[in-house]
Amino acid sequence: IQHPMIGAGITDNMQMFRTLIDTKYPYMMCIKELSHMHNQYLQILTQLGIIGLFFFLLIFYMVANIQIKDISYNNMKYIYLSVLCVGFISETLFHRAFSLALFTFLIGLLLAQHRVEHEI
């Protein structure tokens, strides 16, 4: 609330979260030791603000707009994006190395297919 456009910062958001629990919500002490927000959208919003969330969502919009003619690659693109967008609600998937590696691999595969289809 104090920094809606630019957020609180990469590490400061959790410190502010813990301070808020100590001062305003002492009955929620059980979640004070969380290392992240368990919601990717909320995590990005508190860290980087509305501007950061806009650019984060823009990445997925740009991936969805990759023109691929092969139906199997196109289906893979939409299924993976759907799973990510729903999965971000309950977990910060991009805080895990495997999730980032899988994202990088699949986006690379989609971009390679796009290049093969549009190069000829």
- CB contact at 8 A, 23 and 9: no
* pLDDT tens digits for range 69-88: 999 999 999 999 999 999 99
Per-residue pLDDT at 18 exceeds 70: yes
Q: What is the predicted pLDDT for the residue at 35?
A: 67
The region, left, alpha or beta by phi > 0 then psi within -120 to 50, assigned to residue 107 is alpha
* pLDDT tens digits for range 93-118: 888 899 999 999 999 999 999 999 99
The structure's pTM equals 0.81
Q: Which of 80, 106, 94 is nearest to 47 (CA)?
A: 94
Q: What is the predicted pLDDT for the residue at 15?
A: 76
Cα distances from 112 to residues 46, 86, 101, 117, 119, in angstroms, run 34, 26, 16, 9, 10
